[in-house]
Structure 1
Amino acid sequence: MASGPIIVQDFEQYLKTKSSEPWWQYFRSGADSEQTLADNALAFQRYRLRPRYLRDVSQRDLSISLLGHRLQLPIGVCPSSSHGMVHPEAEIATAKGVASVGSAMGLSMWSNKPLEDIAAAVAPETPLFQQLNVFCDRTSMDRLTSHAEWLVKRTERAGFKGIVLTVDQPVTGNGVERRRTGPAVEPLDLTFPQFVVPGGSYLDSEDRMTLDPSLTWDDLEWLRDLTSLPIVLKGILTAEDASEAVKRGVSAIWVSNHGGRQLDGAPATIDALPEVVNAVRGSNVEVYLDGGVRKGTDVLKALALGARAVFIGRPALWGLAYDGEAGVRKVLEILREELSRAMALTGCSSIADITPDLIKMPSQ
């Protein structure tokens, strides 16, 4: 009998038993009736695999290139807030776990450790990307003092590899279950260093804490003026927006519905992926996916449908709660092993072999 977790969902059960109800709902729940939250995972079952046999799969290469950076596997960790709620080393432990398997990580601006400390904790070649929301301070005060510019400049100095602009949250979604259970009681020493400045904090003003609902495509030029780092748009779900993103010169599109936490009724990300991939075809824009990834076959299906890489959110937090850095590493190792096995069972010896003909679409 195995004494530890065997599949990713085993880590989820550990966090559930460890957490109070408000904490558990904070990490588990979605928006409104949670249709999108549930469908993110269920939708993968609608896509069947078409294996090819009598191919040499004795050696399998899972490495990819992501914005010019070499990863040892196509599975990273996406931005999620407040890792300090489940482990004292917070995002530092998460980043170390990611780096130990040669992958990439997006850092939430609501992280509990300074981005400089996180960057210093991993090798310089580890691709770290800073997630960015834009607040109303961008228009209510001089842009030179806005939180966005200040954070972007810190990101550049720390050696991060790109900016991930969240576009699917002009306002905050209706987290019904989180409202029912009440706010998660955070540790007394939990801080948000990406908002702290000498002598104060960007959290001390209402306009600095209100998401900017006036953000438009034209504001990408404003962001581009702030940085030479690659810009990734996170939250794209349609061909129309993907085409516009290509025209605006972004480096990558991240297919995401915010883990089902914003617009309930939005499509599952695996369902949205094909039209986004088709819309960027012929460009150099890379496509990533998060949402509902729980198994190696989920990863395989997303890659076959055109994703360059997939990212996990909740599973990384489950692993962090279970055993810190080692827990995050274990989650990624399980997914890596499952992906490698699925590749062998479908006749793929490299990521390049994972092509659309491996998938039987739901409509077929």
Structure 2
Amino acid sequence: MSGGAPLPQPTTQKILSIADLKALADANLPPSARDFFNSGSTDQRTLHANETALARYHLRSRVLVDVKNLDPSTTCLDRRISFPLCCAPAGIQAMAHPDGELATSRAVRTMGVNQAISSFASYPIDEIVSAGGNDDSAPSYAIQLYPMSNRGLQERIVKRAEQSGCRAIFLTGDSPVLGVRYNEWRNDFRTPSGISFPILERDTETIRSTTHDTGFAGLNDDGAHWAAEIPWLRARTKMKIFVKGVMCAEDVEAAIRWGVDGVIVSNHGGRQLDGVPGTMDVLEECVRAARGSKLEVHVDGGFRRGSDVFVALALGARCCWVGRPTLWGLGYDGQKGVERMLEVFYEDFKRCMALCGCRRVEDINRSCLARMGNDGVLRPLTRESRL
């Protein structure tokens, strides 16, 4: 290892970047699945903003820093993970590969990170968790949950998740209705035959009898609010509660008032309200609002390289989550594809740490970054301690 990062080696490996992975997955997937996974809402401004927001930050490299014993590991969901990136709750993974979430679970175990399970998963919670093993090397899991009009079903999901060993609930708060997804409407998108949603207790015939949009509307509670959802969950589980979809300081402050354990800064991968900013444009605002509290701030949206993860941590995030890269890994080669995706992120993140002179994740802070001002002058960000 040089500077704690892998030495360059001659390789015939086709996948050297997440862009390589996406290209190969897109070639493998049928058009309906590819469009469903890759598209955002309306004009897809927010989808693209997630990546362009990251590009506004410049890394400040350092020289003559001893990084021989560099350690990229951190803690997430009460478990030490190999580096601060985990697999987000992306739904219908069996549409990318028959093993779906089971393959993802085996991959995160191999790579030493965690997994969040979508309510729209293709396999039951207990099978997904079991695929990751039950020893000290097993991942930590979260169950993603929508506020539901059927409280009985919602409670059954919570109980099954806790009994299966999940550590947290990721309550998605940004979807009282679905965003306008033109490709789904034009294509009359329906989940392929043979795929069910066992967590939601829906079989393939029920799912295919309606559009994805209509099926979601029949499930979701558009009257959900803080005072109804958080106390209801607290009364039924000891799992940690994170609210996913937070994009402003006001909602971070509400999360603190209602005593949740964390928030995930997220715009649903650009699939909900088009025109909202990229997550990196609001991350600092959310981190500032959480400062002085015990609230953890995580983030997703647009991560395509390990240096993107470095930027997010420098701005105060505790952990990053990826959805589409997981689906591309599955679409390319199932478990091995997801493992390769995580390897690409890990290798680049560790190399970025070394070249920026950071020996530990705790060393990464705002002083590692610079931004171009309106006057065209590049300025380092002022140093602030991490949450």
Answering whether residue 21 of structure 2 is matched by residue 11 of structure 1, we say yes
Given candidates 127, 143, 146, the residue that maps to 2:140 is 127
Which residues of structure 2 form unaligned runs of 5+? Answer: 1-10, 374-378, 380-387
Distance 1:147 1:286 in 2: 28
SS at match of 1:93: helix
Cα offsets for 1:85-122 (capped at 9, x unmatched): 01111100011111111101110000001111111111
Distance 1:253 1:203 in 2: 33
Given candidates 150, 167, 179, the residue that maps to 1:173 is 179
Distance 1:87 1:206 in 2: 23
- 2:191/2:208 contact within 8 Å kept: no
| TM-score, structure 1 as length reference | 0.93
**1:126 Cα deviation (Å)?**
1.1
**Where do 1:178-327 residues align within 5 Å?**
178-183=184-189, 186=192, 188-196=193-201, 209-219=218-228, 220-327=230-337
Q: Which amino acid aligns with 2:155?
A: E
Answering whether residue 84 of structure 2 is matched by residue 74 of structure 1, we say yes
Instruction: Describe the shift of the 1:351–1:207 C-alpha distance in structure 2 as closer, same or farther (beyond 3 A).
Output: closer
**1:231 Cα deviation (Å)?**
0.2
Runs (4+) off by over 4 Å: 200-208
- 2:191/2:207 contact within 8 Å kept: no
- 2:132/2:139 contact within 8 Å kept: yes
**1:226 Cα deviation (Å)?**
1.4
Distance 2:85 2:67 in 1: 20
Distance 2:208 2:227 in 1: 26
- 1:41 corresponds in structure 2 to 51
Distance 1:135 1:253 in 2: 19
SS at match of 1:361: strand
Q: Which amino acid aligns with 2:221?
A: D
Cα offsets for 1:162-189 (capped at 9, x unmatched): 1110001010110012222331561x22
Q: Which amino acid aligns with 1:134?
A: P
Q: Percent identity?
A: 36
Distance 2:25 2:332 in 1: 7
Distance 2:207 2:66 in 1: 56
SS at match of 1:218: helix
- 1:59/1:349 contact within 8 Å kept: yes
**1:305 Cα deviation (Å)?**
0.3
Which residues of structure 1 form unaligned runs of 5+? Answer: 139-145
SS at match of 1:91: helix
Distance 1:316 1:30 in 2: 16
- 1:24 corresponds in structure 2 to 34
Distance 2:319 2:63 in 1: 25
**1:154 Cα deviation (Å)?**
0.4
**1:132 Cα deviation (Å)?**
0.1
Q: Which amino acid aligns with 1:265?
A: G
User: How many equivalent residue pairs?
Assistant: 355
Distance 1:206 1:58 in 2: 53
Instruction: Describe the shift of the 1:132–1:185 C-alpha distance in structure 2 as closer, same or farther (beyond 3 A).
Output: closer
Instruction: Describe the shift of the 1:176–1:133 C-alpha distance in structure 2 as closer, same or farther (beyond 3 A).
Output: same
- 1:195/1:203 contact within 8 Å kept: no
SS at match of 2:226: coil
SS at match of 2:157: helix
Task: Report which stretch shifted further, 259-268 or 210-219.
Answer: 210-219
TM-align CA RMSD: 2.1
**Where do 1:125-164 residues align within 5 Å?**
125-138=138-151, 146-164=152-170
**1:206 Cα deviation (Å)?**
7.4
Q: Which amino acid aligns with 2:225?
A: T
SS at match of 1:173: coil
- 1:97 corresponds in structure 2 to 107
- 2:54/2:280 contact within 8 Å kept: yes
